[in-house]
Amino acid sequence: MTQLTAFTVIGYFWAALGLVWFAGIAFSKATLRRQPAGPRLFHLVIAFMGFTLLGSKYFTTGWLAIRVLPDRSWIELAGVLLTAMGCGFAIWARITIGANWSGQATLKRSHELITTGPYAFARHPIYTGLLAGALGSALVIGELRCALGILLILLALLIKMSQEEKLMTEAFPDAYPKYRAHVKALIPGVL
């Protein structure tokens, strides 16, 4: 697989995830409470910087473009497969959460605590999928900027997760701590 083909293929996976994202907005429940604007803006700026480092052609020159992975077709193939699995996992999680989903940390009217499907493996499986997809894309690109991008994306998701965890604990004071005790945040059995 050539690098250009790998770039094209991972682009299709990210586009599919984006389509599912936007299509689902129309089906979201009304919002009752949302995270404060400051943390929301902070995590969005960090996430934007991370995804820009990862996917933008703007950073293909200079020290950020130093290739840190060997140019091997098996690494690119592994990256394409990891991107596909990550985007697929995020899509599965997005469909499973259904009308409870929001692009920001919120409580919806008649909010439900979803603990089935991918939520049985991770409390934040959309983020698990995003991180796996980003890591796969980083393997395809293989440049230093990708490592920095992954770190920024992780930081942004941790900030958002802390807001979501707070809202879920308040909304489900009995059920959420039990769920949290049995299901890891991002990586089953690890983190």
Given this model, what pLDDT does residue 134 score?
Answer: 98
- Quick one: 133 exposed, middle or buried, by C-beta within 10 A (0-12, 13-18, 19+)? buried
Residues making up the chain, counted from first to last: 191
Q: CA nearest 14: which of 68, 87, 77, 73?
A: 87
Query: pLDDT tens for residues 10-64?
Result: 999 999 999 999 998 888 999 998 888 998 999 999 999 999 999 888 888 888 9
- What dotted CATH number matches 3-9+36-104+112-182? 1.20.120.1630
The answer to whether residues 129 and 90 touch, using CB atoms and an 8 Å cutoff, is: yes
Over residues 145-172, mean pLDDT = 95
Domain boundaries, the chain: 3-9+36-104+112-182
